[in-house]
Structure 1
Amino acid sequence: MGQPKLQGLRSYDPEVIARYFQARFWLVIARAVTVGWTLLTFVLALKWDHWFKGADRNRLKRASQLRQILTDLGPTFIKVGQALSTRPDLVRQDFLDELVKLQDQLPPFPNALAFAIIEAELQRSIATTFKDISPDPVAAASLGQVYKATLHSGETVAVKVQRPNLVPRLTLDLYLIRLSARWLGPFLPLNLGHDLCLIVDEFGIKLFEEIDYINEGRNAERFAHNFRHSTQVKVPSIYWRYTSQRVLTLEWIHGYKLTGVQQLQAMNVNPDEIVYIGVTTGLQQLMEMGFFHADPHPGNLFAVPANPETDTPCQMAYIDFGMMDQLEQESKETLVDAVVHLLNKDYEELAQDFITLGFLAQGTDIRPIVPALEAVLGDIMGESVQDFNFKVVTDRFSQLMFDYPFRVPAKFALIIRSIVTQEGLALSVNPNFKIVDVAYPYVAKRLLQGETPELRRRLLSVLFKEGRFRWERLENMIRIARTDGQFDLLPTAQLGLQYLMSEEGRYLRHKLLLALIEDDRLHTEEVQRLWELLKDDLQPSKLMSSAWDAFTYFSREQAANLFPAMVESPSPKR
């Protein structure tokens, strides 16, 4: 029959789902009536409070009611609530306190059913698999629940069990949402309605990936490999012998949720440090690795205190790898460009970045868009770069979608959600947090260090405009990079010297010499400003050591390319 066909669906297929529910229209109508009536009742209750001056009196009641409504509507709507729970700048505090409970304080399903799923999936009894297991789940989330157990070999593990009958419930909601998107699309402004179904499909693809625990285990191992050299990121080990598509067994993490400053401080965790780790590792995922966590809500992140006995620093632990995505190399590089162009107010280049990233179609005339970008984003930083706020950027950018042919590519919907969620999470820990305090020093540091040819080319594009060297940009970039407490100027200077002495750096050597005598004058004033900015970090002995290391990095043949006259001059005859 049809039901087994849905139960066995391993990946999201909108055509298969549509054919299934078109033949069962009564299920669709019943679900649509349930969802529509439930949400309409809540909206009317809010209106009633407003009309009869009862909003303040019923705040806590309505907040609890909203959480209960999303819980009753099931996994899809719980996911919406989870995203809202990380946005204290969007959701008022009473609603926020309730929505946070959607992370892992959801009603569990019966233990007997969970244990039966474990035994059926692993094909062995609970007693054979585990030395002991908690009688009740320690956490219940939208798609599954978690038990704490001990293996017979002695390791403490978390056992994640998927909720029963999940595929039929998810597919029905996804079908309804996609149907609504197709119906509503023509009535929305062109750019909001465009690709609305594709965004739903992207969400469906990720949701099906999330309910495949074998896929999640592979994601975890790939994520751990990416951060193998980092002491700031903790990824639990996967126990494959006790893992299947619907059961995941992984290392137990001894950490604390990111639920507020006071709790973290009570656990000897520095809130600013854990926020810094969270944002920088998020930037690394997007701009370096390309493989990023698309659902970084508080239920998926833990702060692990420093351990002096093992000399382990404070760490951020990621525990859920169901919703991940991949960013192509060109997109990673363009994201770096876009951040720099936005903060340097290069709106023409920013418009080109939007074309490269797919926010504007190829061939779009950017001439009317450039002044619109400047008008909307021109004062985004206020008096200084530290006033920048990503939430403000997304709000301002949404204004442009009504008047210009912008669209949000399906993949970037997840990226935007990830960044906004990280910023919201950081704000919940530190209300004074500014994402640019971490993001722009990170980008500036990466450009200045120029580990790859692509980044070095981007540094040149930042420092040179229309053939002229932009001294103020170099000063600004160094000044901002130094606000990163982990930025060490000497290794960066050494990398720079190595690059200048290389064959690849020949063009830059030539351009720098021209910059020093630009406009028929020696730019001693700019050089002096740079020296004043750097002199405290560039002590002569350390600088000479770094310069010597950079010089000896090259072979005699490479030195010959740099100083041909010295090498080719014949030795004097005696």
Structure 2
Amino acid sequence: MLQKLPDLPTFYEAFCDTALGGAHPPGLVFVVLPLLSVAISAAFTPIEYPKESPYGPSNVYDPSLAKKFYAKMPLLVLHRLVQLAFSGAPLGASLFIDKYITKKLEDEPTKLERAKTLLTFVENNGCTYIKIGQALSVREDIIDAAYAKELSKLQDSVPPFDSSIAKSILASEVGTISSKFTKISDSPVASASIGQVYKATTTDGREVAVKVQRPNVVNVIALDLHIVRTFAPIYQKIAKATTDLQALSDEWGRGFIAELNYENEAANTIEFKNQMASKGLTAVTSPTVVDSLSTSRVLTTEWVEGTRLDRSTEGDVTTLCAVALNAYLVMLLETGTLHCDPHPGNLLRTTDGKLCILDWGMTLKVQPDLQLSLLEFISHLTSEKYDEIPTDFVKLDFLKAEKEEFVRASGFLEPLTYMLKQAGQGGGGKKVRERIIGEFKEKYPGLDDEELRVAIQAEMKEYAEKAKQKTVVVGGISAKVSELQAQNKDAFSIPEWFLYTSRAFLTLEGICLQSDEDFSIITSCFPYVAKRLLSDDSDRARVALKNMIYGASSVAIDETTVVEMLNGFESFERTSKSSRDDDEATVALAREGADLLLGENDNVLKEIVTDVSADAITASLKKAFAGLPFTPTESKERFLKLTESEEKAASLLATLSSRANGKGVHGEGTSPSISPKVLTELTSLLRDYGGGGVSLASKLTKKVVEKNKKNIEDGLGAGKEGGGGGSFALEKGLKNVLGQVEGVL
């Protein structure tokens, strides 16, 4: 905004001297000065918005209604355009000079300066542009990364409006203030683009936060959305963007206008709280809504005492970040309602050690098919089945189906795959960079730093060098996705769910890396994924779980993954509970495990447990028979040699036995003590799930019989092919016995 305006005669003289080479055409003053006077006056005169909603009585976003509405008010639209033109003039003039005069449009220092000017423009032009700026801060496929980074600094806060007006609105919505509240703050404790918050005490003694919507804010947003939508196709053509910017502005519009209905926000807040409770995530919550004091323009919730998670000095911040990750994963992969404003100010550590997520005005619905596609993608990453990733990207709406084969042939997803591999090892951007350089030093021994840098650039097609500049893993992955979209616009796109999810994870990862430089966000996501897959009995989830457990071989179980999944399952159950009582957490974990393994419903976990246990038992039987002094050598070779799956199952069983006895992999440690409380509860569990235990034992017995019968059949078959001697009467007899047992079972 201009701080001081020159008088018009002086401006006219300067204009003629600079623009007209000193000529002073007398007629020009009668044209230029009046128009300029009107424009300047309009630029600095507040707009008087109409009281009638552009979207009609329903107040639901409808661009066609807004177009008809503003067609009758051209001067109103022109007034706002003049304001935007004056406010944006410094940025526009600078960009013009950068491109056509100094030729520094792509210069990084210049970009940083222009990005700051853009941030100022956004902050000066009200709630719509603040929200658009926030949305663009994660869209490097639309704007330059330097501008996106600067816009990420936006906070949804603007100067408050008059409290007398706010309290008048409050009284008109809920009734006389003195009849509802014994005390209310004179000024707002927080002010955002859409409303402002007061701290109050209700007549029944509850401390509450009262959010009051700005007056006539729907018209303020509607006019700006109409202008943005009108000029979006023009900008798209100039910028040669492949994204449908008008459609994108409509998507933003639907979200912005829906956010104005505080009844929707109240419903979202309540829904999240109930969903987390039903899923057992008692360590995460949302504010309690006071329905009797809430309307479409006023939202009242119980006051939450706490500290922003990123500013908390408590020792459980990393744990609460894991809780937040679990909550966002539950939203994304299970409940299907995703919180869309996960900036640090909306993540609160309460005084009793819980995580409270604030501001539920904007949410995104995630379809079940997408949820399963994400689980499949994660399982393919974990099992290193990277050939499946292009197909996953089609299912996840990143990649157009007709471009899948082209992508496979071109290999342009390889750098992203490499980044995902590195990200799984944790440590943020710094540690990722160190690992990348370490790998190349091993690959190219003897190279000095400069030669190594050249080798990295050549092999990674300059991607590794760019990755070194990323501050966090999620940022690196997000940037790589944006880079792929920019380089392959006809094949690659960025779906909306990814934008909000990556933003949430980027925020949480940044907080965690402050206290733990080795933090791995992918590893931290694993506990919930393990829990989700272990408890989902859909066909696609079964395949995804088997991919993770059996790995790339698809035959023998991956012991490391199984142990990690069990650790993850335990971690999820413990961190998602608000109780600090270890006994209660242990009982809850045991009950959850018993329900999965011994409950009435069949699931893939039971199938895998019986299969692996049967392999382990078979391995033990083979070892026992092979150790007998009278067992023939040929029988040992043909019937008692362990298969790969049996060897790994036996190893896994030994590892799990060591864990159960409180020992490490080398046998150190002592048996854990069980408190009387836990023992009582476990005894109760055995009674509750006794029938399930019998059923599982029956399935295991049947599986052991099947495996041993097949082993004998395979051994006898090998004897025929190899022409070996011996009648193997014992084995044949055992085969017949097993056949009879199998018939009974």
Q: TM tier, shorter chain?
A: 0.7 to 0.9
CA RMSD, 1 decimal: 4.5
Cα gap change, 1:428 to 1:38, in 2 (>3 Å) = farther
Cα gap change, 1:119 to 1:269, in 2 (>3 Å) = farther
AA in 2 matched with 1:530: L
Aligned residue runs from structure 1 range 370-449, under 5 A: 370-371=408-409, 372-381=411-420, 383=422, 385-387=424-426, 389-401=473-485, 402-403=487-488, 405-408=490-493, 412-428=495-511, 430-431=513-514, 432=517, 433-448=519-534
AA in 2 matched with 1:554: G
Cα gap change, 1:50 to 1:425, in 2 (>3 Å) = farther
Residues 1:79 and 2:102 are matched in the alignment: no
Instruction: Name the SS of the counterpart of 1:430 in structure 2.
Output: helix
Instruction: Name the SS of the counterpart of 1:459 in structure 2.
Output: helix
Distance 2:482 2:161 in 1: 40
Distance 1:481 1:36 in 2: 60
| Preserved contact between residue 481 and residue 487 of structure 1 (Cα < 8 Å) | no
Cα gap change, 1:465 to 1:156, in 2 (>3 Å) = closer
Shift of 1:552: 3.2
| Preserved contact between residue 610 and residue 700 of structure 2 (Cα < 8 Å) | no
Distance 1:196 1:532 in 2: 58
| Preserved contact between residue 373 and residue 396 of structure 2 (Cα < 8 Å) | yes
Instruction: Name the SS of the counterpart of 1:322 in structure 2.
Output: coil
Q: Which of these residues, 57, 61, 81, is aligned with residue 12 of structure 1?
A: 61
Cα gap change, 1:5 to 1:332, in 2 (>3 Å) = same
Q: Normalising to structure 2: TM-score of the pair?
A: 0.62
Residues 1:527 and 2:527 are matched in the alignment: no
Distance 2:306 2:125 in 1: 31
AA in 2 matched with 1:271: V
Distance 2:384 2:693 in 1: 41
Shift of 1:110: 0.4
Residues 1:209 and 2:253 are matched in the alignment: no
Aligned residue runs from structure 1 range 146-545, under 5 A: 146-186=197-237, 193-228=242-277, 229-260=280-311, 264-265=312-313, 268=314, 270-306=316-352, 314-362=353-401, 364-371=402-409, 372-381=411-420, 383=422, 385-387=424-426, 389-401=473-485, 402-403=487-488, 405-408=490-493, 412-428=495-511, 430-431=513-514, 432=517, 433-448=519-534, 450=536, 455-463=541-549, 468-469=554-555, 471-472=557-558, 475-476=560-561, 478-479=563-564, 482=567, 486=571, 498=598, 522-523=643-644, 524-527=646-649, 529-531=651-653, 533-539=655-661
Shift of 1:180: 3.1
**In the alignment, what sits opposite 2:723?**
none
| Preserved contact between residue 195 and residue 214 of structure 2 (Cα < 8 Å) | yes
AA in 2 matched with 1:319: L
Distance 2:135 2:343 in 1: 7
Cα gap change, 1:335 to 1:215, in 2 (>3 Å) = same
Distance 1:339 1:36 in 2: 47
Number of aligned residue pairs: give it: 540
AA in 2 matched with 1:539: N
Instruction: Name the SS of the counterpart of 1:360 in structure 2.
Output: coil
Superimposed CA distance per residue, residues 351-409 of structure 1 (whole angstroms, 9 cap, x where no aligned partner): 222222333345x2522213535423132145572247222222212233232644547
* Percent of aligned pairs sharing the same letter: 25
Unaligned runs of 5+ in 1: 307-313
AA in 2 matched with 1:117: I
Distance 1:510 1:302 in 2: 44
| Preserved contact between residue 239 and residue 251 of structure 1 (Cα < 8 Å) | yes
Superimposed CA distance per residue, residues 182-236 of structure 1 (whole angstroms, 9 cap, x where no aligned partner): 23345556xx524433322222111111110111111111111101233211322
Superimposed CA distance per residue, residues 315-359 of structure 1 (whole angstroms, 9 cap, x where no aligned partner): 111221110122121111111222232454434422222222333
Instruction: Name the SS of the counterpart of 2:54 in structure 1.
Output: helix
Superimposed CA distance per residue, residues 529-572 of structure 1 (whole angstroms, 9 cap, x where no aligned partner): 53465343233999xx99978983438778766657659759xx
Cα gap change, 1:356 to 1:155, in 2 (>3 Å) = same
AA in 1 matched with 2:474: F
Instruction: Name the SS of the counterpart of 1:17 in structure 2.
Output: helix
| Preserved contact between residue 447 and residue 456 of structure 1 (Cα < 8 Å) | yes
Instruction: Name the SS of the counterpart of 1:231 in structure 2.
Output: coil
Instruction: Name the SS of the counterpart of 2:288 in structure 1.
Output: coil
More helix by percentage: 2
| Preserved contact between residue 285 and residue 291 of structure 1 (Cα < 8 Å) | yes
Shift of 1:121: 1.9
Superimposed CA distance per residue, residues 237-284 of structure 1 (whole angstroms, 9 cap, x where no aligned partner): 222222111111111111112343xxx11xx46321232222221111
Q: Normalising to structure 1: TM-score of the pair?
A: 0.79
Q: Which of these residues, 531, 544, 554, is aligned with residue 692 of structure 2?
A: 554
| Preserved contact between residue 600 and residue 692 of structure 2 (Cα < 8 Å) | no
Distance 1:522 1:550 in 2: 37
Distance 1:301 1:325 in 2: 18
Cα gap change, 1:195 to 1:521, in 2 (>3 Å) = farther
AA in 1 matched with 2:261: D
Distance 1:247 1:494 in 2: 46
Q: Which of these residues, 176, 181, 187, is aligned with residue 130 of structure 1?
A: 181
Instruction: Name the SS of the counterpart of 2:355 in structure 1.
Output: strand
Distance 1:557 1:276 in 2: 36
Shift of 1:66: 6.2
Shift of 1:506: 8.8
AA in 2 matched with 1:403: N
**In the alignment, what sits opposite 1:108?**
160
Cα gap change, 1:567 to 1:422, in 2 (>3 Å) = closer
Cα gap change, 1:455 to 1:188, in 2 (>3 Å) = same
Cα gap change, 1:425 to 1:36, in 2 (>3 Å) = farther
Distance 2:119 2:570 in 1: 40
Shift of 1:420: 1.9
| Preserved contact between residue 238 and residue 251 of structure 1 (Cα < 8 Å) | yes
AA in 1 matched with 2:230: L
Which structure is higher in RCO with an 8 Å CA cutoff and minimum separation 6? 1
Distance 1:145 1:233 in 2: 25
Distance 1:44 1:302 in 2: 42
Shift of 1:170: 0.8
Distance 1:210 1:486 in 2: 35
